A and B are shown apart, each in its own frame.
Chain A
Amino acid sequence: MYHPYFRGKQFELITIRENAKLLKSAGFTPIIEPVQESLSGLKRTLDAVDAVSGNAVLIVNPFYGNHSDGSKEIEDLFQNELKQREGIAVGILLKESIDVTTAMRLFTSHKGRRICFVHAGFTAGRELANQLQQFGETAQHVFVAEHCGKLYRRHFAGAHRVLLDDGFHKRINREHPDLEGFSDLHVTFREEGMDGFGDFLVVGDDFADSGGPAYAVAIHLTFIDPDKDDQMFIRHFKSDRIDTPTDPAGKFAEALTKLVAEINRPGSHVQRTAAVIEFLDLHERRHFPGLGYVKKLSMSHHIETLATYLKDR
């Protein structure tokens, strides 16, 4: 149902690993685009997914990062370690630069496995749909909303379809508003004719391998507002100091103080997830665990929030 899209950096992989059980019990399927040279973190994550008989999609032709120019290592992974693991589907990323022949070659070379096309800029949708039909094979289709209109999605009617919308607006940290809309797809995906939905969590779709020094520290927390038809919103808690590249730990404490005030505000809709409880503990101990760890907590909170919301629906 929910398909969070992860660029497989260190803390994204850890997030999946630590939430493997929750992802499985909620029926969520993480999509992983590997971007790091070393595959050991990725393998451990896939082990964790497998250990709970969970599902995941692993992109075999990643666009960003170290595997983008040829994904021999990922191919090998599917031929060897992942051979028996049916929970891990083959993801084929369809960007502008790929053609139908290449897409179909990737598709046929993984015949017999679950295949998931991720449509993200590809334009020959009709041609691909026709060729797939001739094969009589079924595949799952994930559409990145920014690139795929209703007409495009229509070519794949009848298949299992997922709509992925990037609710996170990437900006310099200090330019984030305190509060803004995130997404309503978790409520409306069926009205869109879809079988599932997804997002790029609280990281966003654009990829940066490394950032410069952060002038402002921001913590992002999503919540669902029952007073606004269950739409999802996101709060950005920013540090007070935003004009020097120094003291990330002290700035984190400033942002965290604002987060804690929101959690303790009567009427706050932010759910007390395991991640939020950890934020409260960090505040208590006045401890900064590092920016990667903070991102992990934000992502875990987002997943748990959606899991709780969708449990009874």
Chain B
Amino acid sequence: MGIHALPRVFAGDIAIGRTGEIVDAGSFDRGRTNVRNPCVGTAAQGAIEEESSSRNENGGAKLQFEATTCHAMIPAIINALGEPQIAAVARFFSSCVVREMARFGESPLFGRLLRDSTLPHYLSATQPIRNVFDFGLKLLGRGERRHEYVYKAAIARRILMGRHTLRTAVMLPEFRVGNCKADIVILNGTSAVYEIKSERDTLDRLQNQLAAYQSVFAQVNVIAGWKHIDEVAAIADEDVGLLTLSKHACISVLRRPRENVSRIVPSMVFQSLPLCESVRILRKLEFDVPDVPNTEIHREVSRLFAALDPFQLHPAMVQVLKATRNLAPLENFFENLPASLHAAVLSADLRQADKSRLVSAIDTPIADAMSWA
């Protein structure tokens, strides 16, 4: 089918998923996926209570219609888009696009990607690009080979801002542990890491990654595409949580994580944190951090950390990181952003002055954004 054969639709008409919705494994349509899943038995008991879909919508999503006709358009549009176009859509959510828009009020990269994606063929040129982001994320969430960002967005939305709030929880994107980079870490009363294995990823490094994360965080989860689930279950220890994404980008908990603080290695925690946060943790634990020249602080703090007990360290670590990386100031800002961009913004680390520029940039009409390139 030629791309022009499809009628234009208004992206805002495409229903935006219900926020805060976490679907338990029982509601997942296993019949259609043909995947025999060994974890489903435990999942039924471990399923998180399904939150009601009557929950209030997030203020950022302004247009919400159950427009089934437009829903029906998505598979056709996906069929019309080739891999390069989908790749361009995935890059809408790169931190580079977010930073350019926040810094300069426009993003030449986004303008190019918009053109490359061919999405403007299907959308009316007068609507704001915020709709393009929401629409783009919907497209990425379909099909056989979903992008990592779909998973990130689902965790940000359904867990960080669904199960928790920005006032009670903190999310650390791309947290470095040894040679690994944890995709998402969420801190509320405890610390939980989420490793994403999308349909496009391989599981080559998973074993090393899990071992590294277990030495720093209390809970370790893998959220993976269906095709990976059996293999992930074979690689991961029993206390690793297993999650997957439904066809509608809802999170299904197949196995709850079990908290295991005893595996935390204080020296690994120390190596993963900036020095100033390690010092704060020691102060919280009422250690005297010796007053030495700055070339020697690292050695001293390292020595003190090595002697800590994991059960003593972990609660202090959670408290300190929640204070130093507090997300509450983002709350109002997030209400003015399309929900699809939240995860990208969390990774971008914006300055205060740039935030309002970003908010006005995402209201730029598609036609104008095309000329950014």
Q: Mark A257-297, 1 if CB is under 8 A from B, else 0.
A: 00000000000000000000000000001111000000000
Closest to B293 in A: A286
Give residues 190-244 of A contacting B (CB, 8 Å): 244
Contact indicator A246/B295 (Cβ below 8 Å): no
Contact indicator B271/A288 (Cβ below 8 Å): no
User: Once the chains are docked, how many angstroms separate the CA of A287 from the CA of B292?
Assistant: 10
Minimum distance in angstroms from B159 CB to a CB of chain A: 29
Contact indicator B293/A287 (Cβ below 8 Å): yes
Contact indicator B294/A249 (Cβ below 8 Å): yes
Choose from B176, B292, B293, B298 the contact partner of A247 (Cβ within 8 Å): B298
Interface centre among B176, B271, B294 (most CB of A within 10 A): B294
Choose from A244, A245, A246, A285 the contact partner of B293 (Cβ within 8 Å): A285
User: Once the chains are docked, how many angstroms separate the CA of A252 from the CA of B299?
Assistant: 13
User: Once the chains are docked, how many angstroms separate the CA of A249 from the CA of B295?
Assistant: 5
Residues of A with C-beta under 8 A to B293: 285-287
Residues of A with C-beta under 8 A to B298: 246-247, 249-250
Report if A31 contacts B (CB, 8 A).
no
User: Once the chains are docked, how many angstroms separate the CA of A304 from the CA of B297?
Assistant: 33
Interface residues on A, range: 10 to 19
Report if A253 contacts B (CB, 8 A).
yes
Residues of A with C-beta under 8 A to B291: none
Report if B83 contacts A (CB, 8 A).
no
We find that the number of chain B residues with CB closer than 8 angstroms to chain A is: 11
Contact indicator A250/B295 (Cβ below 8 Å): yes
Choose from B176, B271, B275, B295 the contact partner of A286 (Cβ within 8 Å): B295
Report if B286 contacts A (CB, 8 A).
no
User: Once the chains are docked, how many angstroms separate the CA of A247 from the CA of B302?
Assistant: 10
User: Once the chains are docked, how many angstroms separate the CA of A306 from the CA of B293?
Assistant: 33
Report if B296 contacts A (CB, 8 A).
yes
User: Once the chains are docked, how many angstroms separate the CA of A83 from the CA of B176?
Assistant: 51
Contact indicator A287/B271 (Cβ below 8 Å): no
Residues of B with C-beta under 8 A to A288: 294-295
Closest to B271 in A: A246
User: Once the chains are docked, how many angstroms separate the CA of A254 from the CA of B104?
Assistant: 42
User: Once the chains are docked, how many angstroms separate the CA of A285 from the CA of B295?
Assistant: 9
Interface centre among B275, B294, B295 (most CB of A within 10 A): B295
Minimum distance in angstroms from A286 CB to a CB of chain B: 4
User: Once the chains are docked, how many angstroms separate the CA of A246 from the CA of B297?
Assistant: 12
Minimum distance in angstroms from A258 CB to a CB of chain B: 14
Residues of B with C-beta under 8 A to A249: 294-295, 297-298
User: Once the chains are docked, how many angstroms separate the CA of A288 from the CA of B297?
Assistant: 11
User: Once the chains are docked, how many angstroms separate the CA of A5 from the CA of B206?
Assistant: 47
Residues of A with C-beta under 8 A to B271: 244, 246
User: Once the chains are docked, how many angstroms separate the CA of A247 from the CA of B276?
Assistant: 11
Choose from A244, A250, A287 the contact partner of B299 (Cβ within 8 Å): A250
User: Once the chains are docked, how many angstroms separate the CA of A286 from the CA of B299?
Assistant: 13
Residues of A with C-beta under 8 A to B292: 286
Minimum distance in angstroms from A194 CB to a CB of chain B: 41
Residues of B with C-beta under 8 A to A245: 176
User: Once the chains are docked, how many angstroms separate the CA of A297 from the CA of B364?
Assistant: 47
Residues of A with C-beta under 8 A to B295: 249-250, 252-253, 286-288
Closest to B296 in A: A286
Closest to B176 in A: A245
User: Once the chains are docked, how many angstroms separate the CA of A252 from the CA of B271?
Assistant: 18
User: Once the chains are docked, how many angstroms separate the CA of A252 from the CA of B298?
Assistant: 12
Residues of A with C-beta under 8 A to B296: 250, 253, 286
Closest to B179 in A: A244
Give residues 141-196 of B contacting A (CB, 8 Å): 176
Minimum distance in angstroms from B99 CB to a CB of chain A: 12
User: Once the chains are docked, how many angstroms separate the CA of A245 from the CA of B177?
Assistant: 11
Residues of A with C-beta under 8 A to B294: 249, 286-288
Closest to B302 in A: A247
Additional 10 contacts, C-beta under 8 A, given A250-B299, A286-B296: A244-B271, A246-B298, A247-B298, A247-B299, A249-B295, A286-B294, A286-B295, A287-B295, A288-B294, A288-B295
Nearest 5 interchain pairs by C-beta: A286-B293, A253-B295, A247-B298, A249-B295, A250-B298
B residues neighboring A (CB under 8 Å): 176, 271, 275, 292-299
29 A-B residue pairs with Cβ-Cβ distance under 8 Å, sorted by A, are A244-B271, A245-B176, A246-B271, A246-B298, A247-B275, A247-B298, A247-B299, A249-B294, A249-B295, A249-B297, A249-B298, A250-B295, A250-B296, A250-B298, A250-B299, A252-B295, A253-B295, A253-B296, A285-B293, A286-B292, A286-B293, A286-B294, A286-B295, A286-B296, A287-B293, A287-B294, A287-B295, A288-B294, A288-B295
